[in-house]
Amino acid sequence: MPRDVCIKTYLNKHAAEIVRMHLESRGIRARIQCDDAGGTEPGLTFGRGVRLMVLPQDSERALGILKAAGSGD
């Protein structure tokens, strides 16, 4: 089974969640990955960020969607 790849890193969970929902509304399965101790320590994400993950075969399309929406680099 292919492993998800990180297409972008965000400073906080809220920003990553909004972009994740946008990708899913366009048919791309996405998830966020972060270490915040199950939400009890949100400050832990400041050092590592919150990663937006997609399947490898969806990464190019997802990046294109982010760029078109003004969320890409």
The tally of CA atoms less than 13 A away on the side-chain side of residue 7 is: 29
Residue 4 has pLDDT above 90, yes or no: yes
User: Residue 5: which of 36, 35, 30, 38 has the closest Cα?
Assistant: 30
**How far is residue 42's CA from residue 2's CA, in Å, rounded to a whole number?**
29
What is the per-residue pLDDT across 10-64, written as a single tens digit (0 to 9) for each?
988 889 999 999 999 999 999 998 865 555 555 555 567 899 999 999 999 999 9
* Tokens matching residue 28: 């791309």
Q: Report pLDDT for 43.
A: 56
- Of residues 38 and 71, more confidence is placed in 71
Q: Report pLDDT for 65.
A: 95
Q: Where are the domains of the chain?
A: 5-68
| Alpha carbon 17 to chain centroid, angstroms | 7
In CATH terms, is domain 5-68 a member of 3.30.70? yes
Instruction: Name the pTM for this structure.
Output: 0.80
Grouping H, G, I as helix, E, B as strand and the rest as coil, residue 53 is strand
